[in-house]
Structure 1
Amino acid sequence: MKLLRDLLDKQVVDREQVKIGKVDGLVAELRPDKPPRIVAIELGSIALARRLGSRPGRRMARLAASMGGKQYGEPHRIAWHKVKDIGIDIEFDIDVRETSIFAWQDWLRDHVIGRIPGA
């Protein structure tokens, strides 16, 4: 499997087929005298900005942390061992309601969109 080609930008779904987002980054563990091992995937604008370089990644992390708090300064990670199937979509054995993946969207809805008249 060619990881970058086969995984980046693929749709991620939970066990109920709820769309979570797209794979924006991969987290690898470097091991001495062994090939690297994928330990997690990253989702979110920070991971996507990191693909453009370290400077855009740091700027996006600072922006997210300044708007929503320190907990939003890192991309969301899903452990690789939770992968259930890799096909057209990447299916994880998680329930999206048990994670904080949509916390940023909830924060934006409550603090920004909700304050727009007529929203």
Structure 2
Amino acid sequence: MRVQLAKQLLDRQIVDSDGGLVGRVDDIAFAVDDEGFPYVAYLLTGQGALGQRIGGRIGRVLVAIANRFVDDPPVQPLRIPLDQVAHVGSAVRLRCPASVLPPSPVESWLRRHLLDRIPGANRASG
């Protein structure tokens, strides 16, 4: 069976089990099993993955901008194991909530250095 991964996965929204938006599928990471057959191991999301996929000047600019917003460049993409994917349709639906996934390095940096410094940012709105 022939599968067109780029058409079926790339640029699809990723939605967690609670219906929350996680990001978009920016790239795919492969692994090789014990018999030498490749398989999709992870879906990648984030500016670093997108920039590398796009390539060229625009891709380098995306990666450079993302690297400015992390404490330890180069920025690493969020790697979602394929076994966490429940369904692929118009969106990629996950089996887990976003809270169990590692946080985006760019979002973590922005939260620490910008959002948490806003007065009242840590208070829940009611």
Band of TM-score, shorter chain = 0.7 to 0.9
Which residue does the alignment assign to 1:73?
A: 75
- What is the aligned-residue RMSD (CA, Å)? 3.1
Count of aligned pairs: 116
- Give the match's secondary structure for 2:69: helix
Task: Give the TM-score, by structure 1 length.
Answer: 0.76
Is 1:20–1:101's contact at 8 Å kept on the other side of the alignment?
A: no
Q: Which runs of 5+ in 1 are unaligned?
A: none
Task: Give the one of 40, 47, 50 matched to 2:49.
Answer: 47
2-side partners of 1:33 and 1:103: how far apart?
Answer: 35
Which residue does the alignment assign to 1:94?
A: 96
- 1:102–1:80 distance in 2 versus 1, CA, 3 Å: same
Paired AA for residue 84 in structure 2? K
Aligned sequence identity (%): 25
Is 1:47–1:57's contact at 8 Å kept on the other side of the alignment?
A: no
Is 1:28–1:37's contact at 8 Å kept on the other side of the alignment?
A: yes
Paired AA for residue 45 in structure 2? L
Task: Give the TM-score, by structure 2 length.
Answer: 0.72
Is 2:85–2:94's contact at 8 Å kept on the other side of the alignment?
A: yes
Counting helix residues as a fraction of each chain, which structure ranks higher? Answer: 1
Is 1:13–1:20's contact at 8 Å kept on the other side of the alignment?
A: yes
1-side partners of 2:37 and 2:61: how far apart?
Answer: 28
- Give the match's secondary structure for 1:38: strand
- Give the match's secondary structure for 1:68: coil
Q: CA deviation at 1:93?
A: 1.0
